[in-house]
Structure 1
Amino acid sequence: MSHKIIKNIGIVTFYPPMRTEFELFGVETFEKNGFNVFFIDISKILTPNLKYDPPVVNDKIVIKINKIRELYDILNQNNLIIVSAVYYTYKTLWLYRLYKKFNVPYIVFDISYHPSRTFESSQKSLQERIKRLNFRNLIIRLVNSNTFNQFLIKKADFALIPNYFSNILDPTIGKNTKILYTHHSDYDKYLANLDKKVSPENIIVFLDEYLPYHPDFQVMKSKPPVTPMNYYTSISRFFDKLEQKTMLQVVIAAHPRSARKNLFGDRKVIYNNTLELVRKSRLVVAHSSTALNFVALYKKPVIFMTTDEIIKTDHNNIIMNMAKCFNKIPINIDDETSIDMSDICSIDLEAYNNYLNNHVKIPGTPEINSWEMFIDCLNENHYI
């Protein structure tokens, strides 16, 4: 079968792209292989009131879209493939309708897969399920159903599946979609750093999630699980105790979207270097960050923590579920009686290895960058 010859890679995002997105979407890998790569930022359409303006990495390859019609000329290119980093939902149905209108080939992948999802369906009570059966959610289910959407959208040409639990892409996958089993983007970073030597340091790394201010809460129009004053007071107090107990220094692996300064007092805050920080640490502290992938890869002991505020929210379930993956129980840092540091350095290797196999890398997939695998797939299917 003959296909369009692909020369341009358009990456559609619902956030203004940052440095992390350049790594996540393999910009350097594509450019090394002769492709022209650019981002298509549709955040102004999806979330026009979003108060979030990250530092620009390379403005030359970012196209900011303000109106839907501005996409027409872009999608009408003959040698384009779209990397769709925007999930198919009832709110983005219009975007997937455009893919069909212009018959543009596109690829989907689970950009924000979280291991805690594997526990969610079994934990919902009958009462919760009934509560969710409102008109809006019935419409959402209808839009997501294959019976309905097969007439509305063009199914994806390719799907990158990082693990066996990733099912959020199902509405966009059809019988002719080429499925490519890969691994989590964190494993790509792990592969890229295999030959780099790192010396251990006497540090504890906190995997920051920017919980009080994360822009996702604006996007989802939901309330953060913590208030800034209570949250930063609690973790600062806990870090003081942890440093006294271990004689180690707590260092903050900043969330890439964090923009506010001086949230952690005098503690060192480091951006865009989480892998190396975890790798050379003695201990990791976390809530439910996906950077826990590095904890499993480098076999680091980890403390899961919650607070009095978090316990009252759904976010606590996410933390509980992540802790289960590592055979750990979260501690409430606001409750002195729940803080047991007697086995903070214990590791359940079986749990760690199960986590890697279930959530980070499908066993047997090639030990190469995910986007290299995709480029090989394009070549095998005569797209290049």
Structure 2
Amino acid sequence: MRIFKFGGASVKDADAIKNVVNVLQEVGYSDTLVVVSAMGKITNAMEKVVESYFNDKDSIAGTIQEIIDYHNEIVSDLFQNPNHPVYTNVKVLIDEVKGFLAWNKSPKYGFVYDQVVCYGELLSTTIVSAYLNEVGISNTWLDVRTMIKTDSNHRDAQVNWERSQQEVVSKVDVSKLYITQGFLGSDENNFTTTLGREGSDYSAAILAYCLNAESVTIWKDVPGVLNADPRNFEDAQLLDKISYREAIELAFYGASVIHPKTLQPLQRKEIPLKVKSFIRPTDNGTTVGKGNGIEPKIPCFIVKKNQVLLKLSSLDFSFIVEDNISEIFKLFSDHRLKVDLIQNSAISFSVCLDNKFRGLQPLLEELKRKFKVVCHEDVSLYTIRHFNDSAVKSLQNGKSVLVEQRGRETVQLVVK
């Protein structure tokens, strides 16, 4: 069986969804499970609903209405019959969101986030599945939450692989076409969980692993995996082949084209990952699989913006040694700050962090009790794999470099 994943850009409007039909017709769709993300920027809109729920309840109705209007416009463009069941199905899903917000008693942000944001994927797959059936591509809609089982670590759930395998195998007939959601799972109490932002690629890999799939294809608006994000760097080039190891390195450093967790289950079963263009679906794109390094071997540029650089030093000029560092990392874990770079000397310790779970302020309060702390917010972390001098100079030009760290294959710069 093949696993296809279509992201938000590939289903952002009616024309985009019609193009999904074209892709399936060009490359075939038998024995295929299709994973679909929320449409366009709907995940952001759903996050705004959650923010409003906690901070500005008066604005919830307006934000939900924008989401309703967005999806209704797409549905009306795709379905000429105003009595088509998809209209009712979309309304039912929206009513479920409203109902949850009305009866929920949990004060936990992560729990509320997962129960609300999941509807982006549920809406998109409901519409895409209905449209494919409408144009003669018979398919079955599946709720991925009944298949991918996780713990209750909301917004970054860990997969229960044994349970998930059992559920996937019991629900999927490998001879059929299925449409299901990315990003989502459920815990042992059947509450919705999410796998981390941009987790739909990971969903595809989980399903591929459970089904022993022949391949996973991620359909994007770029020709494949590029050596740099064209939104941030000029003259980005296509990488034809990437080894699992190299792809995991790129993902670890923050390459946005592949989710950091996606490669691990695929590597374990040597399932190739293809990244291809939904604009030119018959082009080769990029293949990630067994092999060495990358082809062609050129510098690869990665940037992570909106990072935090902390510089810690001891108050009494004593060494920052193992017991201090162990304590510091426990605090990072407790406050859910992801470490992206470390540099230390005898009496100082610098670390670049991702504050996506908003743990920075309480972390700083605890650190300042034992250390002198200098905090630089809104910095950017640049990583160059397979760097050369000209590649490094191109990043340093006109920027204030706060930290530089070099290895044999990789250089990292924290810049302001």
Which is greater in Rg? 2
Bigger strand fraction: 2
Same fold (TM over 0.5): no
What's the TM-score once normalised by structure 2's chain length? 0.26
Greater RCO structure (CA 8 Å; 6+ sep): 1
